[in-house]
Amino acid sequence: MGYFTVPGKVRFGHTDSAGIIFYPRFFEIQNSMVEDWFEDALEHSFAHFRDKFNLTTPLVDVNTQFLHPCRLGEKLDVKLGVLELGRASLILRVKAVRDGLTCITSRAVLVCSKTDFSGAAPWPDAIRTRMQAYKIDEDET
């Protein structure tokens, strides 16, 4: 299947005084993308994931490159793919693409954690199976 993609645009609230995406706003966009992926593609919203399984998904590492400015009003496709799927961890590629040009690319590591933060837990089987459909190769990034 490849990337989970959500079309969008750079809004005023995303930008700094120069009219380009302010880096902390991209991290908010990225987190919203992960949340949409859980709800729309994995069929388990964050609330359901927490309520049904007593699990959460903290971000434990992120590495992001801002390659090209994304300006106010520009249309962007935000894409999410799975680079690696571990027993209790997940490495994602999230990127913002404008007209085929990758403007921002991020490598994010999430951990499946018990809600009391007493330790990691394996991904539930139903969720793991759906995650595998979004596996991408490193060279696709």
Alpha helices in the chain (DSSP H): 23-36, 46-53, 125-132
The CATH number of the domain where 43 resides is what? 3.10.129.10
User: Which pLDDT tens digit goes with each residue over 24-54?
Assistant: 999 999 999 999 999 999 999 999 999 999 9
Range of the domain at 117: 4-140
Contact 34, 112 (CB under 8 A): no
> Residue 92 corresponds to which tokens in the numbers above?
């994602």
Contact 4, 81 (CB under 8 A): yes
3-state SS of 90-125 is EEEEEEEEECCEEEEEEEEEEECEECCCCCECCCCH
Question: What's the chain's average pLDDT?
Answer: 95
Q: What is the pLDDT of residue 138?
A: 76
Q: What is the pLDDT of residue 140?
A: 58
pLDDT tens digits, the chain, 141 residues: what are they?
799 999 999 999 999 999 999 999 999 999 999 999 999 999 999 999 999 999 999 999 999 999 999 999 999 999 999 999 999 999 999 999 999 999 999 999 999 999 998 999 999 999 999 999 999 987 655
Domain count, the chain: 1
Nearest to 122 by CA among 73, 88, 94: 88
